Amino acid sequence: MFDSANAREQLVELANTRIHFGKYQGRYLIELPEPYLVWFKQKGFPPGKLGEQLQQILEIKMNGLEQLIYPLIKR
């Protein structure tokens, strides 16, 4: 069964997750350039939750849905 409260929590978490390594360290995942995410897709996403989140962000960007994520960021 679809749990909309859980889905919202996951989206809020996704919106507020930052990358903790590399050239873009400290940036929100949604702020990562699409070519960087495509590179990960080609080379292999990191294992675990971060890899799953990077895949989700790539799908969001490829479908032009970034504007749905920005309002969820807690700055």
Number of H-type helices and E-type strands within the chain? 4, 0
Number of domains in the chain: 1
pLDDT tens readout for residues 15-31: 999 999 999 999 999 99
CA distance 57 to 11: 10
- Does residue 1 carry a pLDDT above 90? no
2 pLDDT above the threshold of 80: no
Q: What is the pLDDT of residues 37-62, one digit of tens each?
A: 999 999 999 999 999 999 999 999 99
pLDDT digits (tens, 9 = 90+) for 4-18: 778 889 999 999 999
- The alpha carbon of residue 24 and the mean position of all alpha carbons in its chain are separated, in whole angstroms, by 13
* Domain hosting residue 28, numbered range: 4-72
